[in-house]
Amino acid sequence: MQVTLLKAKLHRACTTHAELDYEGSCAIGADLLDAAGIFPYEQIEIYNVTNGERFSTYAISAEAGSRVISVNGAAAHKASPGDRLIICAYARMPEGEARAHKPRLIYLDENNQVTHTRNAIPVQAA
C-alpha cells in the first residue's frame, strides 16, 4: 500500500512578492528549497495563514540568499506581500518506508531567515 506523507514544510514563510503577470508558480530562495529538500518544479501546496487561502502550484528557484517567496501568476490573487504562508511538499511511499519517514520542517521568521528545524511536529495537547 502507498501512503502520501508530508515530505517538507517551510513554516510561516513571509510573502515578498505577488507577481500577477509572471508565468506562474512560486519562486523560493534556492537555499530555502535546499534546506527543505524541495525540488524546482515540484508540486507544492500553499496555505495562507493570513487570509485562509489554500492552493497548489509548483516551486521554482529564486536567487540563493535572496529570501524571496514570490507567489506568481493566477495564484498572486491568493497572497499579498507580508502574508505568512505554510509551504508544503508531499511524497508517496510504501507503508514500510512511511513508518520510518521524517519530514524536513523549516521554521522561518518574518524575514524568511531559518530560526530552527525539526523532523517531527510536537504532539498537540488537549
* 70 counts as catalytic: no
Taking a C-beta distance cutoff of 8 angstroms, is the pair 15, 79 a contact? yes
Q: Point out the catalytic residue in the list 22, 47, 58, 107.
A: 58
The pLDDT assigned to 103 comes to 98
Full 3-state SS string of 64-119:
CCCCCEEEEHHHHHHCCCCCEEEEEEEEEEEHHHHHHCCCEEEEECCCCCEEEEEC
Local confidence pLDDT in tens for the 126 residues of the chain: 999 999 999 999 999 999 999 987 999 999 999 999 999 999 999 999 999 999 999 999 999 999 999 999 999 999 999 999 999 999 999 999 999 999 999 999 999 999 999 999 999 998
What is the value of pTM for the model shown?
0.96
* 58 counts as catalytic: yes
